[in-house]
Structure 1
Amino acid sequence: MKRYQLAIAVKDKEYTRRIADYIRGSSFGERWQVSAFTHPNACKQFAKQGYAIDLIAAEPDLLRELQSELSHIPSITLVARLGETGGQPELLQYQALPLLLQGITDHFEAMSHKSGRGLSMHPAGKGAMVLTVHSASGGVGKTTLALHLVGAASARGLRMLYLNLERWNTSELWLQFGGDAIWDGEGLSELLYAIKAGSKSYAAWLAQHRKFHPQLKCDYLLGFRNQEDRASLLPADAAAIVDSIAQSGHYDGIVVDMDDGLDELHIELLMRADRNLWVVSGDQSAQTKQSLMLRYGGQKFGEAFRGISARSEVVCNGMNAEIGNSLSAMEASLAPVALPLVREWRQGELHPVGSSSSYRAAADRLCTHLLGGSEEPRIHAVG
């Protein structure tokens, strides 16, 4: 992965030291090399000496002085309150360092996509790619698979977001395991309100309200503030949430963790997805429910559902892939990777994501398959 030169210009020397120390000891050090300045003339001299600067992050007054000579370099303003710069790229200066650095990275990559500076780009107008993780019944391992897939894709350098749209969202149990997630901020309810109000500031909203998971190296959003918002979610609203994130420029892929079942909302998301994974377990009842659901989908939704099936694969969880060949009645391809049965996960105790090396390896192989064996951004998941 290429390392880029980040110039930080702030007056507080201790602030620049903390940022530099944090980057050196974190995964952001793989992406950024930092030079810190407390005076704009020092930064200008640095550039005049021939040192390349890919991005400047500076306090407003320092940035104004720098732009007199370095206006050709992309920049982000570090502000005390959002909205100070009249629409220019900005980030809150005093926030958790992981969020600040993730925001800097995302703003830079969004700028790079727009200017064609050589970073991987998406097909025109498509935004991030979408993958759904879905099933006919609960308890078959959708959330576990979705989280492992988003982690595997993030490990390949892709910018990923995990999005849980289940009616009863318990993903925080896994996202908080060993982490510092705080589930008291704004989440999907606020994003939905903004969409319905006609706001177009999705990218700025995401930059301020997404959460970063340090183990999975991906972003996620808090759930709905109240259960009624999710219970009354319309199919068009669910699709609008996915589209707003996909078009934000922040991500290569979105993995959406879906409810079990099949209604108009499911169909809307499955039609929106670029790829879909149907998860089945070794339980005969779960397999029968899956077969019945897919048969019903074909009868109820006709050609639209056949298009969904053509972009779908059945993933066998906790059973031999050969057994999955008996599921041919589902009229969907069988994924070439089966997920192993992890017996210690069946004891009823909460398990951290990635705690099973065999499952992690299988999810990584499945991710490689979904990516087409390349490093190009190919995932946007709903599950």
Structure 2
Amino acid sequence: MNEPLNLVVADPDTAYLQRLAAYVRQSKWAERLSVQWCSKQDTLMQAVRSSSGPNPLMVVHRDWLPEERDHHWVVLDEFHTDDTPVALNAPSHEEPLSRLFKYQPIEHLLASVVNIAERSRYRANDRSTFSASSLSVVSVLSAAGGTGKTTAAYQLVRLLGAQGRRSLLINLEPICSIMAPDPDYSQLFGQYLYFSRGGSPKAVEWAKKLIRRHPRGPIDVLGGSGAFREMEELSVDDIRRLVEHIRALGVYRAVIVDVESGVSPIVKGAMASSDRLVCMLTEEGASIRKTAQFLNACPKWLEMDSELIRSRLCLAFNRWNGEAGVDFRALGVPVAAKLPYVAQWKRNAAWEEEQLDPLFERQLLQLMEALQLDARGAGHASTA
């Protein structure tokens, strides 16, 4: 969001509000949020009456919800929950309210608030504003394993969400570490494939059912939940249809597709369906050689013009230590980012950390710019 998001945060716990306010002041959120803090109910109602311009998002303790509401409201709840909409003394014609667990990590709480505001804007605006043609699809590739591809894909979606751009992570690896297995997911995925392969209009609805919320933060994820057999059987056309079904939902600004390493029908389908491609590698000589071989084989393998592939493609080094003498000019593709090595991710997975490493974030922003993820109307990929 270019303009700061206007918020009114109201809660009777003054100490809680002070902690939130201090965090906002001392973090990146100071530039992204304009917040009015209310520790008294009459102050809240005065803020409601005096608001001008774009209506603020009202993030309010559940005991202070007025019966009549003409703003968008979010409930702060002491009971552990996610932002699932619930009906709380709402008139029958109104949409259910979103609610947030107030004692979750503050970074997650604020990112959730921004995502809810974005979803509210989708509902308020004409859906064509976020049509299929305005969605950017980016596939994250690698010639071999061990390049940090999944970490980069996850952090891209996380950073986009923190900036108020609702995004989806599609994980197409049969075995994935970012989501716990779900015993029902295989059946759901199989049902989706049944409708998708049969050309049923129900396929879009079932694609939506495959989307889950990541347990560590406000991130939407499709895949990576235990549908091993279904993943292994995916074809090029299956991937193309899946991307089209996600486009048809009309609720995401960007989709980041994390595919398995090397070459497979999944990788081929993802590359053919994407607007942009980023190939991950490390500064090790073997990684650079395998990447060069992979890129040289792509035109014939994909049956696409090499210039068309290169116009969509950029490289990103991961675990960059700044080694002298690394020669990647022979790859013939621009290097968009050099993501630094983050030592603490050896102890904890990247998705277990509440804060993104500042140097990693800086390079990730540079990669987002190269992928044109801040641009609207990227348009559909074409294999012509």
Relative to structure 1, the CA distance from residue 300 to residue 238 in structure 2 (aligned partners, 3 Å threshold; closer, same or farther) is closer
Q: Is the 8 A contact 1:212 1:220 kept in 2?
A: yes
* Mapping of residues 83-232 of structure 1, within 5 Å: 108-114=120-126, 121-122=129-130, 124-126=131-133, 128-172=135-179, 183-184=181-182, 186-187=184-185, 190-191=188-189, 193-197=191-195, 198-200=200-202, 202=204, 206=208, 209-215=211-217, 217-232=218-233
* Mapping of residues 314-353 of structure 1, within 5 Å: 314-317=315-318, 318-320=320-322, 326-335=327-336, 337-343=337-343, 345=345, 349-353=347-351
Counterpart-to-counterpart distance in 2, 1:53 and 1:235: 45
Counterpart-to-counterpart distance in 1, 2:303 and 2:211: 39
Counterpart-to-counterpart distance in 1, 2:359 and 2:121: 33
Counterpart-to-counterpart distance in 2, 1:338 and 1:232: 34
RMSD between aligned alpha carbons? 4.6
* Mapping of residues 299-378 of structure 1, within 5 Å: 299-317=300-318, 318-320=320-322, 326-335=327-336, 337-343=337-343, 345=345, 349-353=347-351, 354=355, 356-371=357-372
1:327: Cα distance to partner? Answer: 2.7
* Mapping of residues 280-299 of structure 1, within 5 Å: 280-299=281-300
Q: Secondary structure at the match of 1:126?
A: helix
Counterpart-to-counterpart distance in 2, 1:294 and 1:37: 55
Deviations 1:240-281 (A, max 9, x none): 223322321221111111111123331221121111111111
Q: Secondary structure at the match of 2:150?
A: helix
Q: Secondary structure at the match of 2:328?
A: helix
1:378: Cα distance to partner? Answer: 6.7
**Amino acid in structure 2 at the alignment position of 1:110:** Y
1:329: Cα distance to partner? Answer: 3.3
Relative to structure 1, the CA distance from residue 107 to residue 349 in structure 2 (aligned partners, 3 Å threshold; closer, same or farther) is closer
Counterpart-to-counterpart distance in 2, 1:115 and 1:126: 12
The number of aligned residues is 319
Q: Secondary structure at the match of 1:303?
A: coil
Counterpart-to-counterpart distance in 1, 2:362 and 2:202: 40
Structure 2 partner of 1:71 = none
Counterpart-to-counterpart distance in 2, 1:186 and 1:377: 36
1:208: Cα distance to partner? Answer: 8.6
Deviations 1:185-237 (A, max 9, x none): 6547614522532353746863795214554x422235253421111111211
Structure 1 partner of 2:95 = 76
- The percent identity for this pair of structures is 18
Q: Is the 8 A contact 2:7 2:58 kept in 1?
A: yes
Relative to structure 1, the CA distance from residue 322 to residue 37 in structure 2 (aligned partners, 3 Å threshold; closer, same or farther) is closer
Relative to structure 1, the CA distance from residue 320 to residue 252 in structure 2 (aligned partners, 3 Å threshold; closer, same or farther) is same
Structure 1 partner of 2:58 = 33
Q: Is the 8 A contact 1:5 1:53 kept in 2?
A: no
Q: Secondary structure at the match of 1:131?
A: strand
**Amino acid in structure 2 at the alignment position of 1:194:** Y
Counterpart-to-counterpart distance in 2, 1:188 and 1:308: 33
Q: Is the 8 A contact 1:129 1:253 kept in 2?
A: yes
Structure 1 partner of 2:53 = none
Relative to structure 1, the CA distance from residue 312 to residue 109 in structure 2 (aligned partners, 3 Å threshold; closer, same or farther) is same
Relative to structure 1, the CA distance from residue 192 to residue 244 in structure 2 (aligned partners, 3 Å threshold; closer, same or farther) is farther
Relative to structure 1, the CA distance from residue 356 to residue 377 in structure 2 (aligned partners, 3 Å threshold; closer, same or farther) is farther
Counterpart-to-counterpart distance in 2, 1:155 and 1:282: 29
Q: Does 1:2 align with 2:5?
A: yes
Runs (5+) with no aligned partner, structure 1: 7-15, 47-51, 68-74, 79-90, 173-181
Structure 1 partner of 2:78 = none
Higher mean alpha-carbon deviation, 148-157 vs 352-361, is at: 352-361
1:239: Cα distance to partner? Answer: 2.4
Q: Is the 8 A contact 1:158 1:377 kept in 2?
A: no
Relative to structure 1, the CA distance from residue 218 to residue 209 in structure 2 (aligned partners, 3 Å threshold; closer, same or farther) is closer
Q: TM-score, normalised by structure 1?
A: 0.65
Q: Is the 8 A contact 2:157 2:256 kept in 1?
A: yes
Q: Is the 8 A contact 2:166 2:253 kept in 1?
A: yes
Counterpart-to-counterpart distance in 2, 1:109 and 1:189: 33
**Amino acid in structure 1 at the alignment position of 2:158:** G
**Amino acid in structure 2 at the alignment position of 1:200:** K
Counterpart-to-counterpart distance in 1, 2:87 and 2:349: 43
